[in-house]
Chain A
Amino acid sequence: MPQHRLVNPMVRNIMALKRVALVRQAVRIEEEIKQGMKKPYNEVIDVSRDNPHATGMKPMSFFRQVIASCIYPELIDSDKMPLDVRERAKTLLECIGGSVGCYSDTIGIPIMRDSVSDFLTRRDEGVPSASGNIFITHGSDHGFGLLLKMLVRGDRSPSVGVLTPVPSQDFGNATLVASGASAVPYYLDGQQGWRLHTEELQRALRSAREVCDPIALYVINPGDPTGHVQSRESMEEIIRFVYEEKLLLFANEDHQDILIGEGCMFISYKKVLAEMGSPFSDAVELASFHSSSKGFMGEGGLHGGYLELVNFDPSVQIEFDRLISIQSLPIIGQLALEVMLNPLQPGDPSYAQYQEEVQHIRETMVHNVTRALEVLNSLPGISCEPIKGGASMFPRLHLPHVAIHQAKEEEQLPDFFYCSRLLEQTGLCVCPGSDLGLPEGTYHIRLCIMTSVDTMEEVLRRLGKFHKQFMKDFS
């Protein structure tokens, strides 16, 4: 191999995601539209991933007023902004050294870490949280990636393994491969609302031990794109499992803020762990992730998140500090986190509007889920389960044999074949389920439902029209 072609094998091993190919296709289509090419649609709608603002959800006004005032403090002195905005901006600026342009401590601004631990103590109804165990991140994937760096063993064989759920968001697995760890899939039960069965974990672990050294279990709760919310019982089973098998537990809890199902409750892994008492509560090494990228805030572009370490070896935590000391964190992302975790109180001038905006987001999501279920389940060859949380629907496609055959002729995975034609013919971009690790034989698409009501109508209209035609064409 010539010198100038040498590339890190870990990078080579990353599988190009089909969603990325679709995005490229979408960019090409948008360019063609700009050039005036005639199409049956005026614009591409991309619901292939959870990107609420791009699909019509609005940012929270209070938060944006606060950061604008922090960025341009002249606004603090004017009376254009409500009083609570100005006061919050003033307080925050003092905490961050006077300017959003300063470097942040690499573990996060101290006041932010305090804020996070206060929030966690409140959220978990008294289960204590220490700010020394809080590390600010760019978001949950970033936090996950940092922890992976702590686990991998370079060239030492066998590689470490992390049990990861299937189906799950694409980035998680690429993060694993790029870090040099082995991703060990465990399959959620599609017949039972994507439940996690301990027997399946056992199976995955047994098979993993033949090829790698499994060291951690990664769970996503609420699940995305599966939309399932774990019961306390299920969570306790998981905790018992990791305790017995001596695994680290990584819990991505990004979607904790908005639940849809009736009577559905989010409990954190931290709380369940604490309430199980000894020997679990002081032994299981748990890392929980959260961010301001999802939920009401939807501020993925601003990179605010945190992780909390529970029961980790203190000297390992010091090494973690060392690892993250190299690169600094964005300030604005931390402000997003801060406002998310310390929202307004009744009586604050902006409280009413804030509540209205939260309510609107909640209602929109419920509406979108209802409409999506209605429309999708009325179509032949699609079945869609209700979701309890998360931001995506994950309908199953019952593709005709002819279509599957055609896809294989064109050397494409059948669900990608479907998605690519959908995009070309209707301008609608959704994510093929095969990107999320599902084995051959079942086909899904993932579409994000954090969109405005109008956008969702349009999404369902385009999808419905295309799907009917597709089923006819390939019958």
Chain B
Amino acid sequence: MSQKEVNGSSHRGKVLTLETMNQNVRQVEYAVRGPMVLRAVQIEEELKKGVKKPFTEVIKANVGDAHAMGQKPITFIRQVLALCAYPALLEDDKFPEDAKLRARRILDGCGGQSIGAYSASQGIECIRKDVASYIEKRDGGIPSNHENIYLSTGASDAIVTMLKLLICGEGRTRTGVMISIPQYPLYSAALTELQGVQINYYLDEDKCWGLDAGELRRSLTAAREHCNPRALCIINPGNPTGQVQSRQCIEDVIRFAKEEGLLLMADEVYQDNVYAEGCVFHSFKKVLFEMGPEFSSVVELVSFHSTSKCYMGECGFRGGYMEVVNLDPEVKAQLTKLVSVRLCSPVSGQALMDVVVNPPQPGEPSYATFTKERAAVLADLAEKAKLTEESFNNVPGFHCNPVQGAMYTFPRITIPQKAIDQAKAAGQAPDQMYCMKLLETTGICLVPGSGFGQREGTFHFRMTILPPKEKLKYVLEKIAQFNAQFLQDYS
């Protein structure tokens, strides 16, 4: 028997190794589900095994998963989806007529009346039409064409698809994409994987995370030295920062995009999550068209929405859409082609999106309950947003901007120099070290600000405001206690 045979595969290298694989993948980081979560899961295992800790459960305040944190699904939505899943229930008089009406409409759009059939890649036509109607109504009558709507697997899928479409060139002509810092790390992860150039523009923490045209210009000018800036991404309401951009600000961004020939990517998945007094959600599309034809016939805009957030919180369904406006017809054809060679988004998610854009109307049987449930979810979030802001602003060393919208708080924290030094020596970002210690001490899982980007020398963490009120109060208390101890330990 030869040496090779005796030792089996040990002399034979693998075909796919760290060296031979796609190196871009190795650079991808997605802090929301990164090392913090891995450790949190380990700790949960330890707790299950009976290991003694100063806490009895891990609280996952790292990801915007509303239902996992106890938020109840909206009854009407679940009724329609159950009817779609098992149409025999259409004979059941326990289900209201308005739910049945919508289920029938959706099933009529499905092959063989089944949500298990593949749909057209761009999404079921009647649902795209309903999305277009919803957008028109939301935007005070500004027309929306269903051919410009693409149903997607959550908003993330649509965002990555657009980035994939746009990224080209080499070296100095490589496509650059502007993203706000702090940002939702899907953008940076996708840009890394697709080898796009990330162009950072900083939101102004002292102005409630507002956007400044001067900063946009600074960032763009610098970027033009080494890449070809093509698109500007903006999240409104913001993640992780929670700001709701003012109308003026949105106009400034649109003006800037026109001047610089940039395609705007407006991530509006939190459009119903607006809490602060005086804050209003303005869709980019509406503002664009209200600025008149000089802008509305020129500026390329792609807007994204999803069923994972707002009052629905249906993350597990992977429903979403994008609306494209003013894309060059050739580019749109390429987009449609790209989408057409892939399978459609999950039909159950498409069905869900249809209910979201087609809710019960006054006079319909489910209207009262639906409205009540929706209001309750949003009021609860608003209350928790306020509670969190107040609580954190009472913690020495914390500065917490108002949570105007979305589902997160992103307070600036103070980390003593001693701790910074220790972290750097260990090769860790200081806020990562802070969050790790917090996790080990309290079982509370947050995401360090370094995962989102922040101004040099500042530290933050992102926490969701989703836990039920009592649990949230507990979390806020524990963080305050931990912080006091931390400041003491490293003084």
Contact = CB atoms under 8 A, between A and B. Distances in A.
Interface of A: 3-12, 14, 16-17, 20, 23, 27, 46, 49, 51-59, 64-65, 67-69, 71-72, 75, 78, 80, 96-104, 106, 138-139, 141-142, 149-155, 170-171, 174-175, 178, 215, 246-248, 278-279, 282-283, 285, 297-303, 311-313, 315-316, 319, 322-323, 325-333
Max chain B C-beta neighbours (<10 A), residue from A55, A174, A332: A332
Interface string B54-71: 000000000101111000
Contacts of A285: 14-16
Interface in B316-372: 316-318, 328, 330-331, 334, 337-338, 340-344, 346-349
18 contacts: A4-B300, A14-B337, A54-B118, A68-B86, A97-B68, A102-B67, A103-B316, A151-B21, A151-B22, A153-B22, A171-B343, A178-B341, A279-B9, A299-B116, A301-B114, A315-B17, A326-B30, A326-B189
Interface stretch (B150-158, B244-252, B482-490): B150-158
A282 B8 contact: yes
B186 interface: yes
B342 A326 contact: no
A132 to B, nearest CB: 13
Across the A-B interface, the 4 shortest Cβ-Cβ residue pairs: A54-B111, A301-B347, A174-B341, A331-B316
Given A4-B263, A301-B119, A100 B316 contact: yes
A51 B4 contact: no
B164 interface: yes
Contact of B15 (A49, A59, A215): A215
A101 B315 contact: yes
Nearest to B18: A315
Please classify how large the interface on chain B is, using the bins under 10, 10 to 19, 20 to 34, 35 or more.
35 or more
Contact of A316 (B5, B18, B348): B18
B423 interface: no
B112 interface: yes
Contact of A279 (B12, B116, B228): B12
Max chain B C-beta neighbours (<10 A), residue from A153, A154, A326: A326
A170 B340 CA distance: 11
B92 to A, nearest CB: 7
B34 to A, nearest CB: 8
Contacts of A57: 112
Given A99-B73, A101-B73, A154 B14 contact: no
Contact of B346 (A106, A150, A303): A303
Given A153-B22, A153-B23, A301-B117, A326 B334 contact: no
Interface in B394-449: none
Contact of B318 (A142, A325, A330): A330
B168 to A, nearest CB: 5
A347 to B, nearest CB: 23
A58 to B, nearest CB: 8
Given A53-B114, A315-B17, 16 more contacts: A4-B328, A6-B175, A9-B168, A46-B111, A55-B111, A103-B65, A103-B68, A153-B23, A178-B164, A278-B5, A297-B116, A300-B118, A319-B21, A325-B33, A330-B317, A332-B317
A71 B78 contact: yes
B148 interface: no
B261 interface: yes
Nearest to A30: B125
Nearest to B41: A105
Nearest to A215: B15
A97 B67 contact: yes
Given A57-B112, A102-B67, A139-B343, A313 B18 contact: yes
B23 A154 contact: yes
A54 B21 contact: no
A155 B34 CA distance: 27
Contact of A99 (B20, B63, B85, B316): B316
B342 A106 contact: no
Contacts of B86: 64-65, 67-68
B323 to A, nearest CB: 17
A322 B16 contact: no
A396 B278 CA distance: 69
Given A4-B331, A7-B331, A279-B4, A68 B316 contact: no
Given A5-B330, A68-B82, A327 B164 contact: no
A17 B26 contact: no
Contacts of B142: none
B66 to A, nearest CB: 8
Nearest to B164: A8
Interface of B: 4-5, 8-9, 12, 14-18, 20-26, 28-30, 33-34, 63, 65-68, 73, 78-79, 81-83, 85-86, 89, 92, 94, 110-112, 114-120, 153-154, 156-157, 160, 164-170, 175, 186, 189-190, 193, 195, 228, 230, 261, 263, 300, 308, 312-318, 328, 330-331, 334, 337-338, 340-344, 346-349
A6 B328 CA distance: 10
Contacts of B118: 49, 51, 54, 300-301
Contacts of B169: 6
B172 to A, nearest CB: 14
Given A71-B82, A151-B22, A301-B346, A51 B117 contact: yes
Given A283-B12, A322-B25, A80 B168 contact: no
A103 B77 CA distance: 17
A62 B385 CA distance: 43
A333 B116 CA distance: 10
B17 A138 contact: no
Max chain A C-beta neighbours (<10 A), residue from B17, B120, B346: B346
B340 to A, nearest CB: 5
Contacts of B15: 215, 246-248, 285
Max chain B C-beta neighbours (<10 A), residue from A72, A75, A96: A72
Contacts of B170: 155
B315 A102 contact: yes
A102 B316 contact: yes
A102 B111 CA distance: 27
B99 to A, nearest CB: 10
A21 B129 CA distance: 22
A298 B156 contact: no
Nearest to B318: A330
B343 A300 contact: yes
A302 B318 CA distance: 10
Contacts of A56: 112
A153 B110 CA distance: 39
A327 B338 CA distance: 19
A319 B18 CA distance: 8
Nearest to B89: A68
B114 A279 contact: no
A58 B308 CA distance: 30
A17 B343 CA distance: 13
Nearest to A155: B170
A383 to B, nearest CB: 29
A51 B112 CA distance: 9
A59 B168 contact: no
Given A17-B340, A302-B348, A325-B33, A101 B28 contact: no
A259 B22 CA distance: 37
A279 B5 contact: yes
Contacts of A297: 116
Contacts of B263: 4
A451 B170 CA distance: 49
Max chain B C-beta neighbours (<10 A), residue from A5, A103, A332: A103
A322 B33 CA distance: 9
A302 B116 contact: yes
A80 B92 contact: yes
A6 B156 contact: no
B346 A54 contact: no
Contacts of B344: 301
Nearest to B312: A101
A98 B189 CA distance: 30
Max chain A C-beta neighbours (<10 A), residue from B5, B23, B112: B112
A283 B8 CA distance: 8
